[in-house]
Structure 1
Amino acid sequence: MSNIFTEAEIAYLESQPLGRLATVGPGGRPHVAPVGVFYDPQADAVVVAGHAGSGFGGSRKFRDAQAHPEVAYVVDDLASLDPWQPRGIEIRGTAETFSDGGEELGARITGVMPFDAAWLRIRACRVLAWGIDGDSFELSARDVA
């Protein structure tokens, strides 16, 4: 059982292939990048990693997270177009960067996708969700750390 996410939020994260990671770069400039969605139940956290051979450790998002670990991660979609039913989750937190171990992590949490050696874990401080545990226009916001 998660101390951070509801069961519905975990199911939602596990059902989505793509999210967006927001980091802060040099000079305080924002950077947003599409990334895969991976929930690690052992760490009760979201993981961001590149496919094996992608050079994720040299990416701007990885370097930004190393220099400025405050990040935001958003996963959202439309449950329905008619009626309009947006849903999503925003995770604000702290990124922990790792230069190795991604291969084993990818095997453990995906079972199939080999990760690049470098990866990062997002420890949630605040979670905002809509359309997951409630109505699409009902925001659930809570501090979790």
Structure 2
Amino acid sequence: MSNIFTEAELAYLASQSLARLATVGPDGAPHIAPVGVFYDPEADAVVVAGHAGTNFGASRKFHDARAHPEVAYVVDDLAGVDPWEPRGIEIRGTAETFAAGGEELGARITGVMPFDTAWIRIRARRVLAWGIDTGSFDLRARTVA
């Protein structure tokens, strides 16, 4: 049982493959990058990692998150188009960067995808969701930490 996410939000995260991670670069400019959707139930947090061999620790998103840990992570899609039914979740929080342990984490939370050594954990501070526990155009926002 999560203290951060509703059961419907967890089911939604589990059903999705693609998210976007927004970070801030050294010059203060925003940067957004597509990333996978991974939830770690032990930490009750989302995780960003690269596939084994990608040198994720050298990526801009990893360096940005290390230097400026305030990040946003968005997962969204369309449940339908006629009528238009957007749904999604935005997680605003603090990134924790790790230079080691990604391999074990990937094996534990995915069972199939080997993660690169470096990885990021995002501790939610605020969660905004639409079209999951509510109607498509009803935003549900809450502070969780």
CA distance in 2, matches of 1:28, 1:81: 36
Query: Which structure 1 segments of 5+ residues have no match?
Result: none
Corresponding position of 1:50 = 50
CA distance in 2, matches of 1:27, 1:84: 38
| Superposed counterparts of 1:27-46, under 5 Å | 27-46=27-46
Corresponding position of 2:117 = 117
| 1:87 Cα deviation after fit | 0.1
Q: How many residues align?
A: 145
| 1:27 Cα deviation after fit | 1.4
Corresponding position of 2:18 = 18
| 1:65 Cα deviation after fit | 0.3
Query: Which structure 2 segments of 5+ residues have no match?
Result: none
Corresponding position of 1:60 = 60
Q: SS in structure 2 opposite 1:100?
A: coil
> TM-score, with normalisation over the residues of structure 1?
0.99
CA shift digits 1:79-138 (9 cap, x unpaired): 001110000000000000000000000000000000000000000000000000010000
Q: Which runs of 4+ in 1 moved over 4 A?
A: none
| 1:26 Cα deviation after fit | 1.1
CA distance in 1, matches of 2:3, 2:77: 24
| Superposed counterparts of 1:34-113, under 5 Å | 34-113=34-113
Q: SS in structure 1 opposite 2:27?
A: helix
RMSD: 0.3
Q: SS in structure 1 opposite 2:49?
A: strand
CA distance in 2, matches of 1:14, 1:28: 32
Q: Does 1:133 align with 2:130?
A: no
Q: Percent sequence identity over matched residues?
A: 82
